[in-house]
Structure 1
């Protein structure tokens, strides 16, 4: 969606809702809860967003753009940083359960069947991220492949699942170091 321009009040509704979706899920947070939390009339909500499906899509687009800005700043604006350190930064950015990626990750599991356009926003971000990861991996190892980049993304998502399903603290940086060391040995 090019040039998404929304009034400040609509952005406040989006920001509040991103928080609600992040912590409570897409299906348990309805329009009634959103308008109550945001203290706006339901008619205003529908005037801005037209439907819950469209609203979720907009929330994910906003979150995706914020995340892309962070990824680009790590990948492109830290020229003095090694590819290895950039990959670590990308990994840590995406495995943070309170971070920006968690909502997109959650969307993949929660909304595929009910909000397919919004689901596509998350899928398109993953594809974009694989390309960004690949561009860093190729700097680290000349013959890195897209499969390596996909594996890196799967490590990120596996770390999120592990964080969600276990009270144990696993040294995720150690897992990442092992992957990166193994990549250099191939």
Structure 2
């Protein structure tokens, strides 16, 4: 999607809808609910966004860009933090069920068949994140494989799934500690 320019009123509708999609899913929230919650006429919605599919793409693009900014600030600009701290921050950012990644994660499962362009936005972010994780891991251990980065991403996604089960809330940090301790041991061996 080209550079996105949205009016302030339209961004209010996007922000409200991101919250609705986040908590209720893409299929249960329709245009009628969006316009009611956003307090805009349906014609205004279609003037801004043209279709629900295009609207979902815009919502996911906005969410993806916000998340990328946070990842870049962790990975590139937090000079005082070590690699382990950056990996931990990336993990915590992405496993927060009220955070930015959850909507993109949800989109991978909910949009593939009905909104394929929106699905691609989520998948492209996931690929970008995988490369960011790899770039951090390689700073820690030069012979790290891309499979290690995939394992870290799978750990993030597994933690999200576990967090959806109310009985597994404490597992998030335990899983991260286990992975980071294993990485630290590998670093000492090299």
Asked if Structure 1 and Structure 2 have the same fold, meaning a TM-score greater than 0.5 normalized by the shorter chain, the answer is yes
Task: After TM superposition, give the deviation of residue 146 of structure 1 in Å.
Answer: 1.1
What does 1:1-186 correspond to in 2, within 5 Å? 1-186=1-186
CA distance in 1, matches of 2:8, 2:55: 15
Preserved CA contact (<8 Å) 1:83 1:139: yes
Measure, in 2, the Cα distance between the counterparts of 1:138 and 1:81. Answer: 16
Q: CA deviation at 1:185?
A: 3.7
CA drift at 1:134? 0.4
In structure 2, what is the Cα distance between the partners aligned to 1:118 and 1:128? 16
- Residues in 2 aligned to 1:7 and 1:182: alpha-carbon distance in whole angstroms: 48
Q: Give the number of equivalent residue pairs.
A: 186
Say whether the 8 Å CA contact 2:162–2:171 is kept in structure 1: no
Secondary structure at the counterpart of residue 126 of structure 1? helix
**Which consecutive residues of structure 2, in runs of 5 or more, have no partner in the other structure?**
none
1:141, distance to aligned residue in structure 2 (A): 1.1
Whether contact under 8 Å (1:64, 1:125) holds in the other structure is yes
Contact 1:57 1:118 in 2 (8 A): yes
Query: What is the SS of the residue equivalent to 2:40?
Result: coil
* Cα-Cα RMSD: 1.0
Q: Any unmatched runs of 5+ in structure 1?
A: none
Q: Which stretch shifts more, 163-172 or 65-74?
A: 163-172
Task: Give distance in 1, aligned partners of 2:85 and 2:71.
Answer: 13
Match of 2:22, SS state, is helix
Distance 1:169 1:26 in 2: 25
How far is 1:176 from its partner?
A: 1.3
2:164 aligned counterpart, secondary structure = helix
> Contact (CA 8 Å) 1:141, 1:184: kept in 2 or not?
no
TM-score (structure 1 length as normaliser): 0.97
State the TM-score, normalizing by the size of structure 2.
Answer: 0.95
